[in-house]
Amino acid sequence: MKNIHLIPKDWYELIKPHWSQQEQELWSDQIEKLICKTDITPSKHNIFKALENCSVDKTKVVILGQDPYPTLGHANGLAFSTEDFVKPFPKSLMNIFKELKRSIPNYEFPPTGNLSSWAEQGVLMLNTVLTTEIGQANAHRDQGWEDITFLLLQTLFERKEKLVGLFWGNQAQALIPKLNINGHLILKSSHPSPLSVYRGFDGCDHFNSCNEFLSKKGQTEIIWQT
């Protein structure tokens, strides 16, 4: 089947027992129609970068976003992250940095919007929808991506213990009732976009709350400074 091979092996093995052959074929056909287009973002080799950069075993924090930045060249496959050269930072990302600056002593705004160092520490930065059309946000919503991202999160939260989930915005939070969140820390706020940051994201203190939980559970805290 096309596209199945793009999913990193450890993540595919995680969801495979819960994903019938018929469902895989249907999903693959749906996604093929989306990613065969030339006007999508991120580029095809970065679509599953969030899973490639953060293995199942390494994952201890999940940041769930909406969909990739629609501006050409901005998205790098990690939710809210950008390619190194992107300036100025997208407004949602800048609001994330502002919250970090507000809540963490001595935090300094980073020189790049690339959040790969978070992924290296076990932060899975996954969008609910993994592609969109250049210049159009949410263009690929309800066209197949949610099936795979929900399955990934459902099986991850069932298999692992003591995860931290940061669910920003209504689209991300819609998945929470479908997940087994027993023993996990679930943090909710509005999306960090300029349209909704003032509805709860600003001042949410999620980054400190995340590290406090990890520390209490005997896990290494995340170094948020990039």
Q: Which residues are catalytic?
A: 67
Q: What residues contact 182, with CB distance under 8 A and at least 6 apart?
A: none
Q: What is the dihedral of CA 206, 208, 210, 215, to 10 degrees?
A: -170
CB burial string 54-92: b at 16+ within 10 A, e below: bebeebbbbbbbbbbbbeeebbbbbbbbbbeebeebbeb
SS3 of residue 174 by DSSP: coil
Provide the 10 A C-beta neighbour count for residue 131: 25
Q: How many whole angstroms separate alpha carbon 144 and alpha carbon 211?
A: 33
